[in-house]
Amino acid sequence: VLSNEAEFKISDYYEAYADSWHEYLKNEYHNDITYLNQAYRTNYESFDEIDIYYTMSDIAKYLDVTNFTTQEFSRWHKWMYDLVKELAPDITVTTKNMGYMNDIYQAGLLNKGMNHQDLSEFLDVNGCDDDNYLTRLKEPLVKEYWYEYLVGIQNTPVYNTEDHVAWDYRLVYFEFRPDIHN
């Protein structure tokens, strides 16, 4: 497992990625700042002026940052994958990603660098960390939807290596706080 519940908030590392970010923008907008200004509704004179920070009203910039983040995070996973395969070519390699089928969470995953379609190009199997709590009456098949999503991208088995069958925080809380059981 290359990463566990991995998230990559690229804005925390902007200085390290600034040059790559500017190159990404140049490629996306055919090295013409006019196209970017049209999309962003701005008046930049150079790609080098553009930072990676955005507000939710900056839709075009949000999409660019999200695409750049997933590209860089997938590249990092590919680098690790190649190292593992060099050392142990027969080992099965995956990641353990949170399973989210709610549109808001799925968008959040992309924003945090996890793009399963990119990862499926080199990972050996689908990996995840998901749940299917019996108390979830409104969405009883969430985990199965997530499995279908993963298999739809990469037709390999799904290994849920952290299968949550009960509300974790409640179990931990009660186990370590016997005084609350009265």
Does residue 170 have a pLDDT over 80? no
pTM: 0.80
Does residue 182 have a pLDDT over 50? no
* Greater pLDDT, 145 or 91: 91
* Greater pLDDT, 146 or 71: 71
Phi–psi pair at 164, nearest 5 degrees? -85, 120
pLDDT band at 172 (very low <50, low <70, confident <90, very high): very low
CB 50 within 8 A of CB 25: yes
Predicted confidence at residue 145, as pLDDT, reads 79
Show the tokens assigned to 145: 């939807």
Mean pLDDT in residue range 155-169: 79
Predicted confidence at residue 2, as pLDDT, reads 95
Mean pLDDT in residue range 175-179: 50
Give the span between the Cα atoms of 48 and 164, in whole angstroms. 45
Show the tokens assigned to 121: 């190009």
Contacts of 180 (CB under 8 A, 6+ apart): 173, 174
pLDDT band at 174 (very low <50, low <70, confident <90, very high): very low
Predicted confidence at residue 166, as pLDDT, reads 66
Lowest mean pLDDT segment, chosen from 36-45, 64-73, 133-142: 133-142
